[in-house]
Structure 1
Amino acid sequence: MAGDPYEALGLKKTASDAEIKKAYRKIAKNDHPDLNPDPAATARFKAASSAYDLLKDPEKRRRFDAGEIDDQGQEKPQRRYYREHAEAADNPYSRSYGFEGDPDLSDVFSDLFGRRGAAGSGFGDGGFGSYRSQGYENPRDFHVRGQDYRFNLEIDFMTAAKGGKTRISLPEGGDLDVTIPKGVRDGQTIRLKGKGGAGMGQGGPGDAYLTISIAPHPDFQRDGNNIHLGLPITIYEAALGGKVRVPTIDGTVNLTIPAGSNTGRKLRLKGRGINGGDQTVELKVVMPPKVDDDLTEFMEKWRKDHSYDPRSELKAEV
């Protein structure tokens, strides 16, 4: 977050704690990336989440209002500490999206598939320092949740549509097999619970978050759960009609072309999209690769008695 956290929530500096929570809930319900894929909504959500993470803590809010800390809380990104340490007045804590430790907000996100989380925590010069400096005589008494891992993962169109498996390499070495759910969307984040870094003491492991990008397909285009396909047809199929084989994400099917079809006509294959969606087939009449003498002679004879003007309905002057 960069800027005024009150502005990110649409509030004045005099806002109460209840007003801050209410403003954040409203933005989260409207702009969470798993509910609204618009990049602008994602940016608003991240800004509001970081703002709420700062302002929900009375001490941090007081220090920000007093100019003692900046809008980022003087903390390093991508670190998150166990709650009892994160809320200590003398400990910095990292940005999250604001709902991880707030039971009053958990219902907003409980049914989201691609829940976002904060980064995990470390233990070193940039984190807590030594366990003795934190008042612990034994390192086993020090409990820290493991670091969250984040990956950008590109998958092919068919894997996104039908689901599948892939493998990613982990930072500390080794591989992780990942199941891609059927119908995953471009930009969606998949949470793999417990697949992040190891925790310390009784702190559990972090999670892994995979942000999905989908490679384009040469023939299919996707609109939600619907599939669009441009289908070339011959001039005689357009004129006479007939049955043709059409590819779908589940294999080829027969499609009836009505006689007299034009380029741009759309036909629907019900249920042939993703998760019950449809497939739209848009026809495109294609001339043969070479217009030979037979076709030329036929068209010249046909034109004499069947001439027509396809541009007669144009509104502009021609």
Structure 2
Amino acid sequence: MEFKDYYTIMGVPREAKPDDIKQAYRKLSRKYHPDVSKEKDAEARFKELGEAYEVLKDPEKRAAYDQLGANWKEGQEFRPPPEWNAGAERAGQGAQWQFNNGDAGDHSDFFETLFRQGFGSAGAGGGARSTGRRPSFSAPGEDRHAKIQIDLEDSYSGVTRTISLRVPEMSDQGHVIPREHQITFTVPKGIRAGQHIRLAGQGSPGVGQGAPGDLYLDVEFKPHQRYRVDKHDVYMDLPIAPWEAALGAEVEAPTPSGRVEVKVPAGSATGRKLRLKGRGLPGVTPGDFYFVLQIVVPTADTDSAKAFYESMASQFKSFNPRAKLEG
């Protein structure tokens, strides 16, 4: 069964106002009325228009259709997801539409599948139950996703944050309008980039008495001037002087969880990694923290500094830093 795009059938955008929908229906129904139209498919088009208008003119039906319609495109096979009815049953509605005799028209299989509960208990003749009540429908709201950026330090300690999101909301007229929504949430200790924070009930509102969906905050780390993250490990370039690298030294350095004393082994070279086990991102299996040594050479900007470098050159005449490039 193919999904039917009622907005395309009516020739209106999804955000069309009720008056625009009514005007489009009047225009097209005159064009395709079987009694006056010479189009070969006039009768079929006229029935499609009536079905589309039946849904889009009613805010409640339109809202229910939009909840599902956002997940399909015209021509795709339509299969309502299991949670469509399950969520409504949890809300105590049983996902039932109830039509009076005037509503139970000649609709497509798509329409009857979407609202099939509404025809109630048919008798032997297959007729629809007439109740005279306004249609009632419940369905769970859609889940939403939003990207957030947090500081690396937030993952080390766990914090409470507040964000402002623009969320879609259905107005009383059946229009989707944006609304500012502030949400306070907890960043759990040890969360990593690529993981998400689930906020139950903060997604799209349900239809009728359907439960709202959930909001998933997809986590990214803000770029940091000192640290970089690889999965659960954290790295930092640690500048050292040539004599610290050659002779060894103990230097103080920062980490996201506080300053530490680092022992630089004698004979260290640029790129050497010094590991602090378990000092990366927290977790059941915490990551490691790595200092990556970077030797910083002083500039020869004074006569005494130049003389010092000249004495070094004389002292290390046999040293060839490009030895590995020869041959």
Task: Output the amino acid matched with 1:281.
Answer: F
Name the CA distance, whole Å, in 2 between partners of 1:237 and 1:149. 53
Task: Output the amino acid matched with 1:207.
Answer: D
1:297 — aligned with what?
Answer: 307
Say whether the 8 Å CA contact 1:160–1:214 is kept in structure 2: no
Name the CA distance, whole Å, in 1 between partners of 2:305 and 2:112. 80
TM-score, normalization: structure 1?
0.55
- Tell me whether 1:309 sits opposite 2:320 in the alignment: yes
Task: Output the amino acid matched with 1:312.
Answer: A
C-alpha RMSD of the superposition:
3.6
Task: Output the amino acid matched with 2:148.
Answer: L
Q: 1:169 aligns with which of 139, 159, 164?
A: 164
| Range 135-144 or range 243-252, more displaced | 135-144
1:82 — aligned with what?
Answer: 85
Would you identify which runs of 4 or more consecutive aligned residues in structure 1 move more than 6 Å? 131-136
- Tell me whether 1:287 sits opposite 2:297 in the alignment: yes
- Tell me whether 1:277 sits opposite 2:287 in the alignment: yes
Describe the SS at the equivalent of 2:148: strand
Q: Note the C-alpha offset of 1:290.
A: 4.5
Task: Output the amino acid matched with 2:153.
Answer: M
- Tell me whether 1:239 sits opposite 2:250 in the alignment: no
- Tell me whether 1:71 sits opposite 2:89 in the alignment: no
Name the CA distance, whole Å, in 2 between partners of 1:278 and 1:141. 56
2:3 — aligned with what?
Answer: none
Q: Note the C-alpha offset of 1:176.
A: 1.3
1:255 — aligned with what?
Answer: 262
1:181 — aligned with what?
Answer: 188
Name the CA distance, whole Å, in 2 between partners of 1:137 and 1:190. 45
Describe the SS at the equivalent of 1:287: coil
Name the CA distance, whole Å, in 1 between partners of 2:112 and 2:280. 49
Name the CA distance, whole Å, in 1 between partners of 2:299 and 2:77. 64
1:112 — aligned with what?
Answer: none
2:200 — aligned with what?
Answer: 193
Q: How does 1:110-121 map to 2 (within 5 A)?
A: none
Percent identity of the aligned residues?
35
- Tell me whether 1:150 sits opposite 2:151 in the alignment: no
TM-score, normalization: structure 2?
0.54
Name the CA distance, whole Å, in 2 between partners of 1:167 and 1:212. 14
| Unpaired runs of at least 5, structure 1 | 1-68, 94-126
Describe the SS at the equivalent of 1:249: coil
Describe the SS at the equivalent of 2:138: coil
Say whether the 8 Å CA contact 2:246–2:266 is kept in structure 1: yes
| Unpaired runs of at least 5, structure 2 | 1-73, 87-93, 97-108, 121-127, 168-178
Name the CA distance, whole Å, in 1 between partners of 2:268 and 2:163. 48
Q: Note the C-alpha offset of 1:273.
A: 0.7
Q: Note the C-alpha offset of 1:184.
A: 2.4
Describe the SS at the equivalent of 2:139: coil
Q: Note the C-alpha offset of 1:248.
A: 0.9
Distance 1:157 1:72, change over 3 A: farther
2:41 — aligned with what?
Answer: none
Say whether the 8 Å CA contact 1:145–1:199 is kept in structure 2: yes
Q: Note the C-alpha offset of 1:278.
A: 0.9
Name the CA distance, whole Å, in 1 between partners of 2:77 and 2:135. 31
Q: Note the C-alpha offset of 1:208.
A: 1.1
Q: Note the C-alpha offset of 1:238.
A: 1.8
Q: Which structure ranks higher in relative contact order (CA pairs < 8 Å, sequence separation ≥ 6)?
A: 2
Distance 1:140 1:208, change over 3 A: farther
Q: Note the C-alpha offset of 1:231.
A: 0.8
Bigger Rg, structure 1 or 2: 2
Q: Note the C-alpha offset of 1:255.
A: 0.1
Say whether the 8 Å CA contact 1:139–1:201 is kept in structure 2: no
